[in-house]
Structure 1
Amino acid sequence: MPPETRRKVKSPTQESILTVKNEPPWDFESSVEKKAKIEYNIDMDAQTILGLCKNEAVNGDITSILLSDSSPPPTPPDPPAIKLTHQQLLPPTPSVYLDNKKHAFSPQLQEFCLKHPIAVVRGLASALKLDLGLFSTKTLVEANPDHSVEVRTQIQQPSDENWDPQTGKKVWACISHRSHTTIARYAQYQASSFKESLREEREKAAGGLSDSDSKDSVHNITGSGGNVGGGGGKRRKLNLNVPPVNPKNGKEHKTLKFGTNVDLSDERKWRPQLQELMKLPAFARVVSAANMLSHVGHVILGMNTVQLYMKVPGSRTPGHQENNNFCSININIGPGDCEWFAVPDAYWGAISHLCEKNQINYLHGSWWPVLEDLYNANIPVYRFLQRPGDLVWVNAGCVHWVQAVGWCNNIAWNVGPLTARQYSLAIDRYEWNKLQSFKSIVPMLHLSWNLARNIKVSDKKLFELIKNCLLKTLIKCCRILEFVKQKGVEVKFHGRGKNEASHYCGQCEIEVFNILFIREQEKRHVVHCLDCARKQSINLDGFVCLEEYKMQELCDVYNNFVLYSNVNTPPDQFRLV
């Protein structure tokens, strides 16, 4: 190589240094990635949003997060830092006694319930002249003896204890085995359990109390022979001896059967029962314009329909928060009592952590908290009895678990007050459920669009939360359609039938809104979300793409959902359009 040529050649290092020196530094703020991220907001109209979406580069990785862009992914919250005193760990339960119908329908009652994590409304049945006998075991058998009952077989234990029969140690895991029977068969079991207890009482009365039948291990319960859950009939005071499991003995422990999830949704079968519940104030009714769950547009069993529970002493509903953090209503039909335990929603993260520590999944598992563990973790616990005719209001996010003290039936359902707090907690849990691979049985996307269609909102915070959900789903629908077009897949308009259930992905169980990817599996047409469809075929080969709403319809709903500022009185804040 000639000397003059050698002088012109630069080393790779020199070249890179010279290049860096001669070019301006890389400006991240104006980079392609940054430019591609458009700042969408709820003040934009639908046409602007769609126009911006169509100019984006879409690659199929389309986010479905409903929280605001500045919010981190949902995680169980840290509990309040304040150290509680012994008294504060055992707070008195908020309760109110109703004397008459006027008190039941006063706005103050709803305000009282919404103000507390949990509340007991005592004397509700007598104040409203509710006929609880319609929900008694006798009436249920006469009405529909062959109706299905889910049965949970459980170990009989005192309400504040939970023992592992194998190890003899206190544990969190709540053992429960599922089976099915009919109302008539469970009624026979409930009655025979009662008669057996009567026989034991007579034997004890004849033979005197032994050392093991001390006050600490005896529960006072109320029963009525043959007509459980009626409120009528003569009441007797009984003692139920439920000693804690002895860790050292290997005896077989007594089990019980709990009749749960009896579906009372069919108006043809249960018309008198459902009509009777119309006597309740609007905020506690199964169906009401001011109840979010009445706007879902289809049945969610046990949430926007009534479920009944048939119990013998010791029957347990393990610890949980309600589905998607909705509020719930529970009325004890009687004749026996139920014992409740409840923790404010601010501490659910701490309970989730204790479940994890005890190798139990908070959402998927069955657990009964050890009270000492809660107190040691600075977690307060409400504890109270629910008597026949009492209504328990469980506020949004409240953690609770329940045990029957006597023979009784209970009825329960969920409600969604139209408040920013309720909606926000529902969306938070909807997002956390996705991360935990847990199905949200309240379809929050479908519900939000129906709320936008059906109601006028004057609460600014609630309006912004709903509008943000509409914004996110509108963007997602537009991006999916652009991606599908890019792949050359035909989109067929499918529409929605009246009262048609919301759709969930057959693979990951997240809600699929508006754009469905269908593939035949084992002679069934299975709905997929875009992510699961792409996992099976990156180019969506073999999938049919269906659209339930025209984009113009969604745009109209979005644009027409506006904040109303001319509503002055609280009862008028949420009105049917």
Structure 2
Amino acid sequence: MVKRSPNAPIEIRKQTVQSPEFNVNNGKVIWLCSSPREWKPLRTYALYQSRMFREKNAHENPNIITYGEDLDFGTNLDLSDEKLWKDELQELEKLPYWIRHKHKKNLLSYVGQPVLGVNTVQAYIKVPGSRTPGHQENLCTCAVNINIGPGDTSWLSTPEEYWPALDELCKKNRVNYLEDPWWPAIEELIDAGIPVHRYIQRPGDIVFLNAGTPHWVQADGFCNNIAWNCLPMQKFHFDIAIERYELNLQRKFQSLVPMERVTWNLAAAGLELDFEMFASVRYFLQRSMFNLANVVKNIKTKGIRVIQQVDDKQLRFCEDCDCELYTLLWIRDDGTSDEVSVPYCQECAESKELKNWMVVQQYTLRKLQTMYDKLKLKW
């Protein structure tokens, strides 16, 4: 990778090697797992990893770990460039279709553009002790991770149904489950009746985490991993993604996966869906169309200027609350330009001065009805 793209930016997290049983800061066991961030060229970080590898004589044993020492963890290296990483991405086409980052039966293929680390591949370049704090994947999508080696990685997780209890423990320990980096104390989880699974990912192993699995990860040795998300085209996976999408709206937490856009694109593709999936998708589209129709009616009632402007090239989120903006974008009207500037949702726009707003409408209701009618039931 260094030969191919030596100056590629890689995110660096500064951490301290600790036992995976808990997280310590200033001598106290706490859940908040902070790690200052900076950016470096890939070449610079690769030299650091190589130097550490030689100093620990890791050729003989790549799983040498020394608690208490400081480390740099290289994370979120973007491998989405299909020309630059053509050979590597083609290798991933050998995987079963249901775990590929691109496939017509992967719902994330209907976003319509790259969402880094979600429907694209990222690399994680690790030295012993590197940590990925606890989380569920965005919108509870499935996680796919391959360990290139040479060392091992420890994974800790709990079944999806225990995330509300984990959320309560996060509140008790003064961390935000969705927004903060956290590392739980295993003893606290056991005392709360939350089961913990721990497993070792050897070089060449693929870890697949089903939808919504809370997990946290620590490198046992020197290893490089690649990872992405997928969302199988099944009722269970679709429903759990929608459930988290709506929870994020309530908590004003941004959903990187724009589920309205995904679902309307899926309908427009005209694929045949089994009965359960068809019913779930149709119900979500009906609610989406009903909501959009009410907003359009409200706009007309208030006499707000509306312009038609189709633009599928960019995902839009509200400037204030970070919710997905699909079809209707509220922007400030200076009376001279129809260009989309800073977009807002209706709720946030109405909390400000309403008199100087206009609405950009990307799809008419008739167009959405046409897309809806393309949805097919597989008999």
TM bucket (normalised to shorter chain) is: over 0.9
**Contact residue 65 and residue 128 of structure 2 kept, 8 A:** no
| Residue in structure 2 matched with residue 154 of structure 1 by the alignment | 15
Tell me the CA shift for residue 290 of structure 1: 0.6
| Residue in structure 2 matched with residue 551 of structure 1 by the alignment | 365
Letter in 1 for 2:357: F
Q: Distance in 2 between matches of 1:548 and 1:280?
A: 37
SS at structure 2 position matched to 1:375: helix
Letter in 1 for 2:165: A
Q: What pairs with 1:252-267 in structure 2 (closer than 5 Å)?
A: 253-267=68-82
**Contact residue 299 and residue 501 of structure 1 kept, 8 A:** no
Q: Distance in 2 between matches of 1:410 and 1:520?
A: 47
Q: Distance in 2 between matches of 1:239 and 1:439?
A: 37
Tell me the CA shift for residue 564 of structure 1: 2.6
Match of 1:525 among 335, 341, 360: 341
| Residue in structure 1 matched with residue 38 of structure 2 by the alignment | 179
Letter in 2 for 1:344: P
Tell me the CA shift for residue 241 of structure 1: 4.9
| Residue in structure 1 matched with residue 146 of structure 2 by the alignment | 331
| Residue in structure 1 matched with residue 61 of structure 2 by the alignment | 237
Unaligned runs of 5+ in 1: 1-139, 199-222, 225-235, 244-252, 566-577
Structure 2 CA distance for partners of 1:190 and 1:548, relative to 1, 3 Å: same
Q: Distance in 2 between matches of 1:396 and 1:454?
A: 24
Note the alpha carbon deviations across 1:327-374, whole angstroms, 9 max, x for none.
011000111110111110010111111111100110111111111111
Tell me the CA shift for residue 185 of structure 1: 0.2
SS at structure 2 position matched to 1:257: strand
Tell me the CA shift for residue 473 of structure 1: 1.3
SS at structure 1 position matched to 2:311: coil
Tell me the CA shift for residue 484 of structure 1: 1.1
Note the alpha carbon deviations across 1:462-513, whole angstroms, 9 max, x for none.
212111111111112211111111111221110124xx12211111110111
| Residue in structure 1 matched with residue 378 of structure 2 by the alignment | 564
| Residue in structure 1 matched with residue 229 of structure 2 by the alignment | 414
Q: Distance in 1 between matches of 2:323 and 2:33?
A: 28
**Contact residue 319 and residue 369 of structure 1 kept, 8 A:** yes
| Residue in structure 1 matched with residue 51 of structure 2 by the alignment | 192
| Residue in structure 2 matched with residue 516 of structure 1 by the alignment | 329
**Contact residue 73 and residue 125 of structure 2 kept, 8 A:** yes
Structure 2 CA distance for partners of 1:472 and 1:443, relative to 1, 3 Å: same
Match of 1:317 among 132, 137, 140: 132
* Aligned-residue RMSD, C-alpha: 1.7
| Residue in structure 2 matched with residue 493 of structure 1 by the alignment | 308
Match of 2:293 among 463, 478, 488: 478
| Residue in structure 2 matched with residue 113 of structure 1 by the alignment | none
Tell me the CA shift for residue 520 of structure 1: 7.1
**Contact residue 452 and residue 561 of structure 1 kept, 8 A:** yes
Tell me the CA shift for residue 428 of structure 1: 0.7
Note the alpha carbon deviations across 1:266-292, whole angstroms, 9 max, x for none.
112211211121111111111101100
Match of 1:272 among 72, 83, 87: 87
Q: Distance in 1 between matches of 2:123 and 2:272?
A: 34
Unaligned runs of 5+ in 2: none
Which region of structure 1 is more displaced relative to structure 2, 487-496 or 292-301?
487-496
| Residue in structure 2 matched with residue 145 of structure 1 by the alignment | 6
Tell me the CA shift for residue 457 of structure 1: 3.8
Note the alpha carbon deviations across 1:53-81, whole angstroms, 9 max, x for none.
xxxxxxxxxxxxxxxxxxxxxxxxxxxxx
SS at structure 1 position matched to 2:56: helix
Letter in 2 for 1:558: Y
Q: TM-score, normalised by structure 2?
A: 0.95
1:383 matched to 2:198: yes
**Contact residue 12 and residue 40 of structure 2 kept, 8 A:** yes
Structure 2 CA distance for partners of 1:421 and 1:238, relative to 1, 3 Å: closer
**Contact residue 172 and residue 368 of structure 1 kept, 8 A:** yes
Q: Distance in 1 between matches of 2:273 and 2:365?
A: 26
| Residue in structure 2 matched with residue 57 of structure 1 by the alignment | none
1:536 matched to 2:352: yes
Which region of structure 1 is more displaced relative to structure 2, 411-420 or 470-479?
470-479
Tell me the CA shift for residue 239 of structure 1: 6.4
| Residue in structure 2 matched with residue 343 of structure 1 by the alignment | 158
Count of aligned positions: 375
Note the alpha carbon deviations across 1:2-56, whole angstroms, 9 max, x for none.
xxxxxxxxxxxxxxxxxxxxxxxxxxxxxxxxxxxxxxxxxxxxxxxxxxxxxxx
**Contact residue 158 and residue 242 of structure 1 kept, 8 A:** no
Letter in 2 for 1:510: C
**Contact residue 520 and residue 526 of structure 1 kept, 8 A:** no
Structure 2 CA distance for partners of 1:520 and 1:482, relative to 1, 3 Å: closer
**Contact residue 62 and residue 222 of structure 2 kept, 8 A:** no
Which one has a bigger Cα radius of gyration? 1
Letter in 2 for 1:527: P
Identity over the aligned pairs, expressed in percent?
41
SS at structure 2 position matched to 1:403: strand
1:440 matched to 2:255: yes
SS at structure 1 position matched to 2:29: coil
| Residue in structure 2 matched with residue 359 of structure 1 by the alignment | 174
| Residue in structure 2 matched with residue 216 of structure 1 by the alignment | none
Tell me the CA shift for residue 384 of structure 1: 0.9
**Contact residue 155 and residue 175 of structure 1 kept, 8 A:** no
Q: TM-score, normalised by structure 1?
A: 0.63
**Contact residue 9 and residue 42 of structure 2 kept, 8 A:** yes
**Contact residue 334 and residue 410 of structure 1 kept, 8 A:** yes
1:452 matched to 2:276: no
Q: Distance in 2 between matches of 1:142 and 1:456?
A: 42
SS at structure 2 position matched to 1:544: strand
Q: Distance in 2 between matches of 1:532 and 1:332?
A: 44
Q: Distance in 2 between matches of 1:355 and 1:553?
A: 44
Q: Distance in 1 between matches of 2:127 and 2:14?
A: 11
Q: Distance in 2 between matches of 1:241 and 1:308?
A: 21
